[in-house]
């Protein structure tokens, strides 16, 4: 083994504590170190993925106590896939924002990069941990870094967005604690695998109610319909790359948490239907709301929420194809939505309110950024040959195999709306005349590299989806194999 | 390497290269553009063999490519038109902005059409279909006029079609476990009854959008008239045929196996006939040549779809033959309009007159194509229409034949309008500087005109491929048997000659022409075209009083009740209503953080109360 | 209207919660094979730590504590970012009113003993109730007292950062030492000693001291930042 | 027995201070009430055999949280009904 | 004794739930941002009480070994909820501090604390 899953948490935290010290000596270190750490995490996850493919799931115990006593980290094909995705995106977000914050003072910029790093760390922690209370701690880490990052710009209405987020997050964490305590009071353990094994012993009523509290708590971060009021505000007011980080990293972690609950911890079959219902409502509400937005980032935010609804639907289908589709969709969404946020925030760079009309005629001034935005828009609509098509095909096939004809119809009808609002923006980029006098800001080199690498991934996956379908297949099989997860964790021979 | 893949690679690589070579020089770009169209055509005509399978497996879903006789026939249309229109395009696009953008999407759409025809499984079919859709979408908005309205309308309608198709595709996959078209066809007979209805209907909706059948046609007039004419030639000539191609498969291979097939056939045929009739009326009303031709295209596609939908061997033959002919003459006409637009800057009948001496070759091409379009012997259009009437009568669709005959006759009116509006009449000083279009534009038009003349006399040139295509899907050998039953057939064997009926029709046409000529002759007076004195009324300055304005006023007044109801408007107001609904629902996000928390509470309560029922 | 909805939904929620927890019952143990006994016995036998809560917080679930420390760290970081203004340390005071001489000297007198108490609490975290968090908080309240009493009392920002960072680094490093020498993050590397002695429990004491310093520095930092936020 | 009565009294006081904290329009009093709540809570924790938690709650809940609330009130307004400008003015300086 | 325990059962859980509901009520209906944060912190207190109550054992002792009671493991109250509450309290404090700093900034920006007037971001 080249590394260990614990380094995903230990190294960033060490770095976070070191950064204030090095920042006193060498100011640039506050930018460089988080990047190095994120790159390290990405390569670590890749090397661990290689190991996992050969030797099977890694279960890392902490403090030398085997589960269920100690906390453990699980790096399986499924969690490994998500970890790789998140750390990659984290690195890309860092790369994109490396110069983005040049004009900001030293201290806020230090905080920006530190919070970004810990946001990624917390999300990775949510995914890796095998203990529900530990998951709660990581959720709080993610939330608080989220509050800090959202309110980064002091001049905008960012505090309002952050407060809404905090309000929802605080209520959610309360109910998360209640749910954890209900489970603990019945089963006497906090380890997910142990809980999953003992779950049949639990009283049915308490099982249902604890799951309800869990859904409420995790649903806030996962942006499901009635709980996502904060999300568009946060995406709008946070710095551009942070929108990408939320869409690509935080929400993925929350979705992971809910999936882990339903697939591994609980043994309800009805929970899958609930996933479909919630996902469908989220999808419909978000996409229809996005249709009438006049601010670019807000539109992207609603679109992101809608896509997450689609992911929930795919997970709710519950078959291997469904999980495969959901994972594919998560991957695509992470890449494409980041691309859209990145290029979109340059298209409306110097504008205060970032209205959609500000992109008018940008095709002429920012050709590469515009093309990348267009590729992203086409991909997220699901037009072949871009990456989004394959995931859409996968989810529809999975739904069709379960004879969910109405579901397919609804997804497709709503997809048309999605196409409409994205194409409206694309049309504006190329076929409207720019009215404002202000010169658009050219993307700096690092931002351009970040965007182009995302665009290339979109194209490559579009033309050659086999590149990741093997990984996704293994991940899907891993998620569905509940017995194996329990066995891996509880019969640990270290 | 397999030749089909090679062709596709040439298309897609050529498209990208062409787009980026704009920076180098326009000449290089033009050459690359033509090369990208011609090389695949050569490769196609020389190298592609029937019924060879090529499998590209870069996904869990492998893509199967290969050619069937039917796709060969349609590929003939696409590749031929692509080359000819390509030459024309180079002439027309000279000195225009965004050439790279235009060429890129042009080649992409041609390549995608080729891909559609070569697809043996539904996924690759859909992929190429969507590439074709967005490439053509990008061209529709190329002019930058009304992009939000026209472009989005086109895309939404296309998306409705494409997603209906996608739904059919995934349902097929759930039933057969594979995406192959051959598996769909072979397994179709054994499915449960609901699916046997649902899947063909969904597919027909998908194809119907591209073939512009009645309730789904609303994108077509705007999209056709808004894109550059050199692309509209492809749009109407080849791209819309993709819908016909799909319909042929559905009608030939699927609907023959279900009892409700006949009903669906009749419904589609009737919808197509109504499309033909109404769009002909609309075409008559237009004052803009582009829109006129757009409506005319929709009408003509209606005939083709009637033939395909009726589905008797003769009707199918007629439909497919008309598909080819329509590709030929409608492309020519769009090219003509494009040439006129290029030379004069407008396509409004009320602006232009008397170009006959300025643009004689263009006029010739227009004349021949219009004769073909109107279905006047001895040109190709006549053969197709005749067979259509014959097959309709043979299969007892008398009402249909009446309707088709009515619209076909009415089509004379707009044909006349094109010819008269642009070319005949007096020369205006305003247009005295106009010259003949450049050779690059004229030559393709003339070639296409020659093709439509030749096909009028020797239709068997393309009857053979059609016949092969139809027998491939299990139809009887029409060429050998049915062709002989047609009244068009004569004793000189396979060569067609004009039977007395044809002569009769021709005579009638000549009489009408002479009558019109004399009627106009008697009024001849030397005034400028924009000066007509009405009885006692003094025209105001700004009123356009060209004589071509309100050309067929009495006729239009007679048919006005039919035309007053516009599906277009209903659909747009429906869309508007939906958007207003969304405007209302999005107020749930009222900006107050506390309300969001209350939503969360309500959500929690709902889950708590329903929890026991939700999780069994 | 809003209040009615809220009251109704809270009523239903309360009903369900009461229902759940009365069902769970009070003062009885509901599970048979839980981890409680394992924690108790391991704490006594393996770690030799008297205060089981400390053993859990620092060792069995030490990872949580690391996260918790990070949360505080993040809170102080985020707070600094939220209230950041360019003219940051330009002596702005927001004391409620000038303290009287009695209070001043009382505070001066109390401050060392408060800090001492805090240090005692976190050093003896594994023996008696209390630990790093409690001790750190107590120290922070000591600083709070000084900040409130003396108008010009200032805490060196850099010194806080040093304490905070070094304590954090110490925590993670102990964890990494465990990882590299014993193969498991945060695993005890020191001899555990005897029950009820100061030097027992291996690294637990060291970690709790680090936590104590860190918490003290962070909380002081938070208070300092908020207190000086006045425009 | 005495413990039970003591506990019940504490719980009652806790609820009362919570209600007072929510009901009181003067935020300063409300915050102090919530501090008192925390104090009672920490005693309840002690009764429930959780000395560690009691200590933490006493230090954080009673002292720090209250102080931070008070500082926040100093920086904003003291009364819930802030439109009563007179009250605001008299209390801020 | 059983009866009293029953009373305590209802009383402790009841008051914990009541605390939560009072806190939630404040957070959901009060207009002042500070009141909302206060409500959230009362909500937190309620949950903490709930958690400790779950870990309580009748006639239990605190989970601290002292020289006298090293073998009284089975009458010790459950230490795990205590550890969790310890963590939760600290986290709750962090969240409250961030919330209050946000409140201060919101006041600076909007010059009001009424949550229904701070809604520039909507729809």
Please give the model's pTM, rounded to 2 decimal places. 0.92
Residues B375-394, mean pLDDT to the nearest whole number? 79
Residue E14 falls within a domain, yes or no? Answer: yes
Kindly report the backbone phi and psi dihedral angles of residue D31, in degrees, each rounded to the nearest multiple of 5, phi listed first. -65, -40
Domain of E38: which CATH number?
1.10.287.3510
Instruction: Say how many CA atoms lie within 13 Å of B80 toward its Cβ.
Output: 18
Structural domain of residue D49, as residue ranges? Answer: 2-92
pLDDT at B267 over 60: yes
In this complex, do B590 and E27 lie within 8 Å of one another by their Cβ atoms?
Answer: no
Q: Which of E9, E17, E76 is nearest residue C25 as measured by Cβ atoms?
A: E9
Label each residue of B346-387 as H, E or C: CCECCCCCCCCCCCHHHHHHHHHHHHHHHCCCCCHHHHHHHH
| Contact criterion met (CB below 8 Å) for B448 and B369 | yes
Percentage, residues of chain A above pLDDT 70: 97
C-chain CB neighbours of E87 within 8 Å are 57, 64-65, 68
pLDDT, average across residues D73-93: 63
Q: What is the pLDDT of residue B494?
A: 45
Question: Alpha-carbon Rg of chain C, whole angstroms?
Answer: 22
Q: Cα distance from E33 to chain A (closest Cα, Å)?
A: 9
* Pairwise CB contact (< 8 Å): E116 & B594: yes
pLDDT of A451 reads 92
Interval A367-392: pLDDT, tens: 889 999 999 999 998 888 888 888 88
DSSP per residue, chain C: -HHHHHHHHHHHHHHHHHHHHHHH-SSS---SS-SHHHHHHHIIIII--SBHHHIIIIIITHHHHHHHHHHHHHHHHHHHHHT--SS-SS-----SSPPPHHHHHHHHHHHHHHHHHHHHHHHTTTTSS--HHHHHHHHHHHHHHHHHH-TT----HHHHHHHHHHHHHHHHHHHHHHHHHHSSBT---S----TTSSS-STTHHHHHHHHHHHHHHHHHHHHHHHHT---
Mean pLDDT, residues A313-342: 91
- Segment D3-26 shows an average pLDDT of 89
Q: Does residue A18 lie within any of the structural domains?
A: no
D56 touching C (Cβ < 8 Å): yes
Sort out which chain D residues have CB atoms less than 8 A from C138's CB and list them.
59
Percent of chain B with pLDDT over 70: 88
Note whether D touches C: 3 CB pairs or more under 8 A.
Answer: yes
Q: Work out the pLDDT band at E92, boundaries 50, 70, 90.
A: very high
* Chains contacting chain D through 3 or more C-beta pairs under 8 A: C, E
What element of type H or E holds B587?
none
C115 contact residues in D (CB cutoff 8 A): none
What average pLDDT does the structure give for chain A? 87
Sorted by sequence, the CB contacts under 8 Å of residue A252 that are 6+ apart come out as A82, A85, A86, A123, A330, A334
What does the pLDDT average to over B432-455?
A: 85
| Among the partner residues A173, A181, A292, nearest to E51 by beta-carbon distance | A181
| pLDDT at A350 exceeding the cut of 80 | no
Cβ of C144 within 8 Å of Cβ of D64? The answer is: yes
| Cβ-based burial of B16 (10 A; exposed 0-12, middle 13-18, buried ≥19) | middle
Chain A residues touching residue B588 (CB < 8 angstroms) = 285
Separation of CA A444 from chain center: 25
Q: What is the DSSP letter of D49?
A: T
CB-CB under 8 Å, E28 with B594: yes
Per-residue confidence (pLDDT) for residue B481, from 0 to 100:
58
Higher pLDDT among residues D29 and B214, named by residue: D29
pLDDT per residue as tens digits for the range B24-68: 888 888 888 888 888 888 888 887 777 777 887 776 778 888 888
The per-residue pLDDT for A120 is: 93
Of A409 and B384, more confident: A409
In a mutagenesis test of the D interface, which of C72, C130, C225 is the best target, namely the one with the most D β-carbons within 10 Å? Answer: C130
- A454-478 pLDDT tens trace: 999 999 988 888 888 888 999 999 8
Do E and A touch, counting CB pairs below 8 Å (3 needed)?
A: yes
Q: Which of C129, C140, C226 sits opposite D55 (nearest CB)?
A: C129
- Answer whether residue A84 shows pLDDT above 90: yes
Residues in chain E: 123
Summarised one tens digit per residue, pLDDT across range B579-609 is: 888 888 888 888 888 889 999 999 999 888 8
Answer whether C26 sits within 8 Å of E20, measured CB to CB: no
The pLDDT value recorded for residue B280 is 87
- pLDDT over threshold 90, residue A326: yes
- Nearest CA-CA partner of A240 in A420, A447, A31: A447
Q: In sequence order, what are the beta bridge partners of A75?
A: A58
- pLDDT (mean) for B490-495: 43
**Pick from A181, A221, A197, A227: which is nearest to A130 by CA?**
A197
| Span B196-212, pLDDT tens digits | 888 889 999 999 998 88
The average pLDDT across C102-109 equals 86
Inspect the interface and report whether the beta carbons of C13 and B598 lie closer than 8 Å: no
Output the pLDDT for position A494: 45
- Residue D50: CB atoms within 10 Å: 32
Q: Does C22 sit within 8 Å of E9, measured CB to CB?
A: yes
- The pLDDT of residue B521 is 63
Please state the domain count of chain E: 1
Q: Does residue A213 have a pLDDT over 50?
A: yes
Residue C126, C-beta contacts closer than 8 angstroms, at least 6 positions apart: C49, C50, C51, C54, C55, C58, C200, C201, C204, C205, C208
Q: Which of A218-222, A260-264, B506-510, D44-48 has the lowest mean pLDDT?
A: B506-510
* pLDDT, position A118: 92
Pick the most confident of A95-99, B138-142, C184-188, D30-34. Answer: D30-34
Summarised one tens digit per residue, pLDDT across range B297-320 is 888 888 899 988 888 888 888 888
Q: Which two tokens stand for residue B484?
A: 């002989």
Which residues are CB-neighbours of E93 under 8 A, at least 6 positions away? C72, C75, D60, D61, D64, D65
Interface test with A, best of C40, C74, C86, C173 (most A CBs within 10 A): C74
Of chain B, the percentage scoring pLDDT greater than 90 comes to 6
Q: Classify residue A251: in a domain, yes or no.
A: no
Q: How far apart are CA A378 and CA B610, in angstroms?
A: 40
Confidence check: pLDDT of C17 > 50: yes
- Contact at 8 Å (CB) between B75 and B212? no
| pLDDT value at residue A104 | 63
Q: Which 3-state string (H, E, C) describes chain A? A: CCCCCCHHHHHHHHHHHHHHHHHHHCCCHHHHHHHHHHHHHHHHHHHHHHHHHHHCCEEEEECCCCCCCCCEEEECHHHHHHHHHHHHHHHHHHHHHCCCCCCCCHHHHHHHHHHHHHHHHHHHHHHHECEHHHHHHHHHHHHHHHHHHHCCCCCCCHHHHHHHHHHHHHHHHHHHHHHHHHHHHHHCCCEHHHHHHHHHHCCHHHHHHHHHHHHHHHHHHHCCHHHCCHHHHHHHHCCHHHHHHHHHHHHHHHHHHHHHHHHHHCCCCHHHHHHHHHHHHHHHHHHHHHHCCCEHHHHHHHHHHHHHHHHHHHHHHCCHHHHHHHHHHHHHHHHHHHHHHHHHHHHCCCCCCCEHHHHCCHHHHCHHHHHHHHHHHHHHHCCCCCHHHHHHHHHHHHHHHCCCHHHHHHHHHHHHHHHHHHHHHHHHHHHCCCCCCCCCCCCCHHHHHHHHHHHHHHHHHHHCCHHHHHHHHHHHHHHHCHHHHHHHHHCCCC
Count up the domains in chain D and report the number.
1
> How does residue C122 score in pLDDT terms, banded at 50, 70 and 90?
confident
Instruction: Inform me whether the pLDDT recorded for A90 exceeds 60.
Output: yes
Higher local confidence (pLDDT), A267 or A212: A212
Chain C meets chain A (3+ C-beta pairs below 8 A)? yes
> Rounded to an integer, what distance in angstroms lies between the CA atom of residue B505 and that of residue B510?
9
Query: How confident is residue B495, by pLDDT bands cut at 50, 70 and 90?
Result: very low
Instruction: Say which residues have a Cβ less than 8 Å from residue A81's Cβ, sequence separation at least 6.
Output: A49, A327, A471, A472, A475
Q: Quick check: C13 and E24 CB within 8 A? A: yes
- Residue D86 — pLDDT band, cuts 50, 70, 90? very low
Decide if B591 and E119 are in contact by the 8 Å CB cutoff.
yes
Maximum alpha-carbon separation in chain C: 64
Print the domain residue range for A450.
269-463
Average pLDDT, whole number, for chain B? 82
pLDDT of A186 higher than 70? yes
Contacts of C30 in chain A (CB under 8 A): 185-186, 188
Mean pLDDT calculated for residue range B199-227: 87
Are C92 and C226 in contact by the 8 Å Cβ rule? The answer is no
Q: Are B601 and E28 in contact (CB under 8 A)?
A: yes
Nearest-by-CA chain C residue for A66: C60
Total structural domains within chain A: 1
| Best of B192, B593, B612 to mutate (most A CBs within 10 Å, chain A) | B593
Instruction: Inspect the interface and report whether the beta carbons of B589 and A289 lie closer than 8 Å.
Output: yes
pLDDT given for residue A29 in this prediction:
83
Is the residue at A442 inside a domain? yes
| B419 compared with B13, residue with greater pLDDT | B13
Residue B597 has its nearest CB partner, among E28, E116, E120, at E28
Which chain D residues contact residue E55 at CB under 8 A? 50
The chain B residue lying nearest A166, using CA atoms, is: B593
By CA distance, what is B153's nearest residue in A?
A420
Per-residue pLDDT band for A346 (boundaries 50, 70, 90) equals: confident
Strands B63-65 and B54-56: antiparallel
What pLDDT band is residue B509 in, cutting at 50, 70 and 90?
A: confident
CB atoms closer than 10 angstroms to residue D77: 24
CA distance D71 to D28: 10
Read off the pLDDT band of B496 (50, 70, 90).
very low
DSSP label of B493: B
Contact of B454 with B461, CB cutoff 8 Å: yes
Residues in chain B closer than 8 A to A273 (CB atoms): 614
Buried b (16+ CB within 10 A) or exposed e, B308-344: bbbbbbbbbbbbbbbbbbbbbbbbbbbbbbbbbbbbb
E21 touches chain D (CB under 8 A): no
> Measured between CB atoms, does E37 come within 8 Å of chain B?
no
User: What is the tens place of the pLDDT at every residue in B350-377?
Assistant: 777 777 778 888 888 888 888 888 877 6
- pLDDT computed for residue D90 by the predictor: 47
Chain B CB contacts of E121 under 8 Å are 591
Q: Residue B151 belongs to what H/E stretch? A: none
Round to whole Å and give the CA distance between A451 and A454.
5
CB A463 within 8 Å of CB A368:
no
E31 in a structural domain: yes
Q: Which residues of B touch C16 (CB under 8 A)?
A: 608
Average pLDDT over residues B373-383: 76
Q: The domain containing residue E10 runs over which residues? A: 2-110
The whole-angstrom separation of Cα B334 and Cα B237 is 9
pLDDT level of residue B538 (50, 70, 90 thresholds): low
Query: For position B487, what pLDDT does the model report?
Result: 57
User: Cβ of B171 and A408 within 8 Å?
Assistant: yes
* Residue A395 maps to a domain: yes
The pLDDT value given to residue B483:
57
Q: Which of B43, B24, B36 is nearest to B103 (CA)?
A: B36
Give the three-class secondary structure for B54: strand
Q: Please give the average per-residue pLDDT across B242-256, as a whole number.
A: 88
Q: Quote the pLDDT of residue B497.
A: 46
Closest-approach residue (CA) in chain D for E84: D53
Q: For chain B, say whether C10 makes contact (Cβ under 8 Å).
A: yes
Query: For E8-58, what is each residue's pLDDT tens digit?
Result: 778 888 899 999 999 999 999 988 889 999 999 999 999 999 888 888 887
- Both tokens of B238, joined, read 């080849």
CB spacing of D55 vs C223 below 8 angstroms? no
Give the residue on E whose Cα is nearest the Cα of C25.
E9
Question: Across A80-94, B90-104, B532-546, C57-71, which has the greatest mean pLDDT?
Answer: A80-94
Q: pLDDT tens-digit profile of C35-53?
A: 788 888 888 888 788 888 8
Q: Which residues of E touch D77 (CB under 8 A)?
A: 107, 113
Picking from A295, A231, A254, the residue whose alpha carbon sits closest to that of residue B596 is: A231
Per-residue pLDDT tens over the stretch B95-138: 787 888 888 999 999 999 999 998 888 888 999 999 999 899 88
| Chain B residue with the nearest C-alpha to that of A232 | B589
Q: Quick check: D55 and C96 CB within 8 A?
A: no
Chain A within 8 Å of E54 (Cβ-Cβ)?
yes
* Residue A419 to residue B615, Cβ atoms within 8 A: no
User: Could A177 and E98 be called an inter-chain contact, meaning their C-beta atoms sit closer than 8 Å?
Assistant: no
Kindly report the CA angle at B605 between B602 and B610, in degrees rounded to 5? 125
Are A160 and E120 in contact (CB < 8 Å)?
Answer: yes
In terms of pLDDT, which residue wins out, C32 or A166? A166
């Amino acid at each position: 083994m080249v590394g260990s899953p614990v380094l995903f948490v230990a190294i960033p935290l060490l770095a976070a504590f070191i950064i204030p010290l090095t920042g006193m000596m060498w100011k640039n270190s506050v930018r460089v170190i988080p990047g190095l750490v994120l790159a390290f995490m990405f390569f670590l996850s890749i090397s661990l993925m290689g190991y996992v493919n050969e030797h099977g799931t890694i279960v890392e115990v902490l403090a030398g106590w085997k589960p269920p006593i100690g906390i453990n980290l699980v790096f399986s094909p499924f969690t490994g896939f998500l970890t790789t995705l998140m750390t990659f995106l984290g690195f890309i977000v860092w790369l994109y924002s490396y110069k983005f914050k040049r004009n900001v003072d030293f201290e806020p910029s230090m905080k920006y990069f530190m919070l970004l790093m810990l946001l990624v760390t917390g999300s990775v922690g949510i995914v890796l941990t095998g203990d529900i209370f530990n998951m709660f701690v990581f959720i709080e880490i993610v939330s608080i870094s989220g509050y800090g990052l959202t309110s980064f710009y002091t001049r905008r209405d960012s505090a309002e967005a952050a407060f809404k987020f905090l309000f929802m997050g605080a209520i959610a964490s309360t109910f998360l604690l209640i749910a954890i305590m209900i489970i603990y009071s019945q089963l006497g353990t906090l380890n997910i695998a142990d809980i999953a094994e003992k779950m049949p012993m639990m009283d049915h009523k308490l099982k249902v109610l604890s799951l309800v509290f869990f859904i409420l708590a995790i649903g806030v971060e996962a942006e499901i319909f009635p709980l996502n009021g904060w999300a568009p505000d946060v995406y709008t007011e946070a710095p551009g790359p942070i929108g990408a980080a939320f869409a690509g990293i935080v929400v993925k972690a929350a979705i992971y948490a809910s999936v882990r609950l339903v697939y591994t911890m609980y043994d309800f079959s009805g929970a899958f239907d609930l996933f479909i219902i919630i996902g469908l409502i989220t999808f419909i509400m978000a996409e229809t709301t996005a249709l009438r937005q006049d601010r670019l980032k807000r539109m992207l935010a609603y679109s992101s929420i809608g896509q997450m609804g689609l992911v929930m639907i795919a997970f709710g289908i519950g078959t291997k194809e469904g999980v495969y589709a959901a994972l594919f969709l998560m991957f695509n969404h992470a890449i494409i939505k980041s691309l859209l946020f990145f290029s979109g925030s340059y298209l409306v760079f110097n504008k205060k309110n970032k209205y959609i009309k500000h992109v008018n005629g940008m095709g002429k001034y920012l050709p590469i950024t515009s093309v990348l935005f267009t590729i992203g828009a086409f991909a997220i609509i699901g037009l072949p040959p871009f990456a989004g098509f394959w995931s859409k095909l996968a989810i529809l096939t999975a739904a069709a195999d379960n004879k969910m004809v109405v579901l397919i119809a609804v997804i497709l009808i709503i997809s048309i709306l999605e196409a409409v609002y994205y194409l409206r923006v694309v049309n504006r980029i190329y076929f409207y005349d720019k009215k404002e006098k202000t010169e658009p800001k050219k993307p700096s080199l690092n931002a351009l590299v970040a965007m182009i690498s995302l665009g290339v991934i979109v194209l490559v996956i579009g033309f050659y989806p086999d590149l990741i379908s093997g990984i996704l297949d293994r991940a899907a099989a891993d998620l569905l194999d509940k017995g194996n997860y329990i066995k891996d964790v509880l019969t640990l021979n270290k | 390497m397999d030749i089909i893949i090679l062709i596709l690679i040439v298309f897609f690589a050529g498209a990208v290269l062409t787009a980026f070579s704009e920076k180098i020089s326009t000449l290089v770009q033009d050459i690359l553009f033509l090369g990208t169209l011609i090389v695949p055509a050569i490769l196609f005509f020389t190298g592609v063999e029937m019924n060879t399978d090529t499998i590209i497996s870069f996904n869990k879903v492998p893509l199967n490519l290969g050619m069937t006789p039917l796709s060969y026939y349609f590929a003939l249309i696409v590749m031929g038109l692509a080359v000819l229109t390509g030459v024309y395009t180079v002439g027309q696009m000279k000195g225009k902005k965004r050439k790279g953008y235009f060429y890129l999407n042009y080649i992409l759409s041609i390549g995608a059409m080729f891909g559609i025809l070569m697809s043996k499984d539904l996924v690759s079919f859909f992929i190429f279909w969507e590439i074709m859709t967005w490439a053509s979408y990008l061209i529709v908005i190329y002019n930058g006029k009304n992009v939000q309205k026209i472009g989005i309308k086109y895309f939404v309608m296309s998306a409705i079609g494409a997603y209906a198709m996608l739904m059919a595709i995934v349902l097929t996959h759930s039933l057969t476990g594979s995406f192959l078209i051959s598996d769909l066809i072979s397994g179709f007979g054994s499915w449960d009854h609901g699916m046997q209805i649902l899947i063909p209907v969904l597919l027909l909706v998908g194809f119907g959008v591209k073939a512009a059948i009645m309730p789904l046609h609303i994108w077509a007039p705007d999209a056709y008239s808004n894109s550059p004419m050199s692309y509209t030639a492809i749009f109407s000539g080849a791209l819309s045929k993709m819908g016909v191609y799909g319909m042929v498969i559905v009608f030939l291979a699927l609907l023959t196996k279900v009892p409700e097939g006949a009903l669906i056939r009749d419904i589609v045929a009737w919808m197509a006939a109504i499309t033909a009739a109404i769009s002909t009326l609309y075409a008559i009303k237009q004052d803009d040549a582009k829109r006129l031709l757009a409506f005319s295209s929709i009408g003509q596609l209606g005939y083709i779809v009637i033939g395909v939908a009726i589905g008797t061997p003769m009707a199918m033959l007629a439909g497919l033959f008309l598909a080819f002919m329509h590709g030929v003459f409608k492309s020519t006409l769009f090219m003509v309009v494009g040439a006129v637009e290029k030379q004069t800057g407008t396509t409004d009948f009320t602006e232009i007159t008397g170009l006959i001496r300025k643009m004689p070759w263009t006029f010739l091409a227009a004349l021949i194509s219009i004769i073909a379009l109107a279905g006047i012997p001895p040109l190709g259009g006549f053969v197709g229409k005749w067979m259509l009437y014959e097959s309709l009568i043979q299969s007892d669709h008398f009402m249909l034949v009446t309707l088709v005959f009515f619209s076909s006759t009415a089509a004379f009116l707009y044909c006349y309008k094109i010819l008269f509006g642009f070319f005949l009449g007096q020369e205006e000083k305003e247009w005295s500087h106009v010259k003949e279009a450049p050779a690059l534009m004229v030559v393709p038009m003339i070639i296409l005109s020659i093709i439509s003349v030749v096909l009028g006399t020797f239709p068997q040139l393309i009857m053979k491929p059609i016949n092969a295509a139809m027998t491939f899907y299990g139809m009887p050998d029409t060429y050998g048997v049915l062709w002989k039953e047609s009244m068009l057939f004569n004793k000189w064997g396979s060569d067609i000659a004009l039977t007395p009926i044809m002569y009769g029709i021709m005579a009638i046409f000549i009489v009408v022409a002479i009558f019109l000529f004399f009627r106009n002759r008697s009024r001849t007076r030397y005034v400028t075209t924009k000066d007509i004195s009405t009885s006692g009324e003094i025209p105001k300055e700004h009123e356009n009083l060209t004589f071509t304005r309100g050309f067929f006023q009495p006729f239009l007044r007679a048919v006005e009740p039919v035309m007053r109801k516009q599906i277009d408007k209903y659909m747009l107001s429906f869309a508007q209503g939906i958007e207003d609904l969304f405007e209302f629902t999005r107020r749930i996000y009222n900006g107050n953080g506390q309300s969001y928390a209350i939503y969360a509470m309500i959500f929690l309560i709902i889950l708590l109360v329903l929890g026991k029922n939700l999780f069994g | 209207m809003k209040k009615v909805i809220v009251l109704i939904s809270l009523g239903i929620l309360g009903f369900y919660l009461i229902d759940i927890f009365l069902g769970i019952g009070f003062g009885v143990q509901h599970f048979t094979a839980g981890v409680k006994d394992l924690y108790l016995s391991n704490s006594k036998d393996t770690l030799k730590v008297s205060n089981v809560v400390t053993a859990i917080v620092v060792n069995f679930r030490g990872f949580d504590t690391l996260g918790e420390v990070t949360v505080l760290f993040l809170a102080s970081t985020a707070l600094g970012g939220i209230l950041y203004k360019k003219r940051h340390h330009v002596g702005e005071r927001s004391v409620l009113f000038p303290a009287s001489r009695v209070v001043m000297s009382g505070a001066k007198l109390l401050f060392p003993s408060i800090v001492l108490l805090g240090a005692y609490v976190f050093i003896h975290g594994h023996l008696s109730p209390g630990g790093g968090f409690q001790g750190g908080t107590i120290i922070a309240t000591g600083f709070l007292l000084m900040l409130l009493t003396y108008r010009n009392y200032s805490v060196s920002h850099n010194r806080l950062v040093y304490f905070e960072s070094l304590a954090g680094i110490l925590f993670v490093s102990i964890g990494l030492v465990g990882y590299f020498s014993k193969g498991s993050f945060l695993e005890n590397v020191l001899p555990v000693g005897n029950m009820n002695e100061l030097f027992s429990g291996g690294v637990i004491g060291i970690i709790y001291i680090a936590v104590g310093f860190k918490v003290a520095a962070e909380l002081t930092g938070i208070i300092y930042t908020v207190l000086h936020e006045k425009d | 027995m005495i413990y039970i009565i003591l506990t019940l009294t504490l719980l009652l006081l806790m609820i009362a201070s919570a209600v007072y904290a929510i009901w009181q329009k003067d935020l300063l009093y409300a915050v102090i009430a919530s501090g008192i709540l925390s104090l009672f809570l920490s005693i309840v924790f002690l009764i429930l055999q959780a000395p560690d938690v009691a200590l933490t709650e006493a230090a954080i809940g009673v002292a720090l949280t209250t102080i931070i609330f008070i500082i926040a009130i100093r920086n904003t307004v003291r009364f819930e009904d802030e439109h009563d400008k007179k009250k605001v003015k008299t209390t801020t300086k | 004794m059983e009866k009293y325990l029953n009373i305590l059962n209802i009383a402790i859980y009841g008051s914990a739930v009541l605390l939560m509901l009072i806190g939630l009520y404040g957070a959901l209906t009060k207009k002042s941002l500070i009141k909302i944060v206060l409500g959230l912190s009362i909500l937190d207190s309620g949950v903490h009480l709930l958690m400790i109550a779950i870990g309580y054992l009748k006639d239990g002792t605190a989970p601290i070994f002292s020289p006298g009671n090293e073998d009284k493991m089975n009458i010790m109250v459950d230490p795990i909820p205590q550890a969790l509450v310890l963590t939760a309290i600290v986290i709750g404090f962090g969240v409250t501090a961030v919330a209050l700093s946000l409140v201060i900034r919101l006041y600076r920006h909007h010059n009001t604390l009424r949550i229904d007037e701070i809604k520039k971001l909507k729809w």
